[in-house]
Amino acid sequence: MQPDIPYRQTHLQAPDEWKLEQGLEPARLGIRNQSSIQINTEPHRLNPSDHEELKGTDISEDPDLDVQDERPGWKGYVEWEDYPEKKAKAHQRFSRFTFPPPPEFQLEPLPATNPVLEGKRWKLWHKAIGGVLDQVPQISWETVLKEKHPEMLHLLEFPYNGEAPKSLLTKDYIMPNELHFVRNHGGIPDIEASAYDIRLDGLVNDPRHSPSQTYKTNPSFQSSKLVTIQCSGTSSPWKQIGRVSQ
């Protein structure tokens, strides 16, 4: 890396930086309609509701559904797959509400500045379940503002969806924590270091469960390699060099 190259220096983003990152810069180009088809260029307004609505009192609800933290040292973590009865109660509670439809993305004009979508439906889903999940969206966004780089491109407030500008990704060999991002996940629990563990379960013949301390103290795991990680699941050309433990 050569730190004297100008575009690798820290800089403030242009308001339309998000368009450049997403490959939407051609949207500025005018398109000439050479056909006889009349095209309606007026945006279609859906005007969806921004709050949930109770369908009625004819759908019963189990008052015993109380969603709380389940594992010591894990704040904001709720397990569903291991508790089918609790999962069924949550589904029953959801059925009592009518939630707003998805927001419109395709028929609205592209904004000139980076839009931060709120994720209203996800927030309302958490609010409907209640318990410890009620405050998860607010805590999630506060954590992003506290821990992430001020030039992060915020796309979705909750569940958080954002990315780091490529100019910052290529600035250093090792990507700092403030530039790491998470794609479309719900609330990430705060886990105490002593309570963290690794579980290998699901469709495996021999499920395993080990505390993280096992991997920290065992000398056979104390090694590092310089690797290149590329996200191949999206259209964005991310490629980042980082140091990971094996």
pLDDT in 10s for each residue of the chain, 246 residues: 444 544 444 556 666 666 666 655 554 444 555 666 665 555 445 444 555 565 555 556 667 788 888 888 998 888 888 889 999 888 888 888 888 777 666 666 666 666 777 888 888 888 888 888 888 888 888 888 898 998 888 888 888 888 888 888 888 877 888 888 777 666 678 888 888 888 888 888 998 888 877 777 767 666 777 776 666 554 444 444 444 433
Q: What is the dihedral angle through the alpha carbons of 168, 170, 175, 176, rounded to the nearest 10 degrees?
A: -30
How high is the pLDDT of residue 246? 39
How high is the pLDDT of residue 30? 47
How high is the pLDDT of residue 238? 43
Contact call for residues 231 and 110 (beta carbons, < 8 A): no
How high is the pLDDT of residue 157? 86
Q: Please state whether the predicted TM-score (pTM) of the whole model is above 0.75.
A: no
Tokens at 200, concatenated? 């290998």
HSE (CB half, 13 Å, CA atoms) of 49? 9
Length of the chain: 246
How high is the pLDDT of residue 60? 60
Report, in this order, helix, strand and coil percent for the chain, each rounded to 5: 30, 15, 55
How high is the pLDDT of residue 82? 85
Residues 6 or more apart whose CB falls under 8 angstroms from that of 13 comprise 114, 151, 153, 165
Among candidate residues 4, 68, 22, the one with its CA nearest the CA of residue 163: 22
How high is the pLDDT of residue 6? 47
Tokens at 172, concatenated? 């250093």
Distance separating alpha carbons of residues 74 and 153, to the nearest angstrom: 28
Packed helices 120-129 and 84-94: angle between N→C axes, nearest 10 degrees: 120
Distance separating alpha carbons of residues 17 and 7, to the nearest angstrom: 14
SS3 211: strand
Q: Which residues does residue 239 pair with via DSSP β-bridges, in sequence order? A: 230
User: Side chain identity at 174, as an amino acid letter?
Assistant: I
For 152, counting Cβ atoms within 10 Å of its Cβ (0-12 exposed, 13-18 middle, 19+ buried), the class is buried
What is the residue extent of each domain of the chain? Answer: 48-193
Alpha helices in the chain (DSSP H): 17-21, 84-94, 120-129, 136-147, 166-169, 212-217
Distance separating alpha carbons of residues 127 and 132, to the nearest angstrom: 9
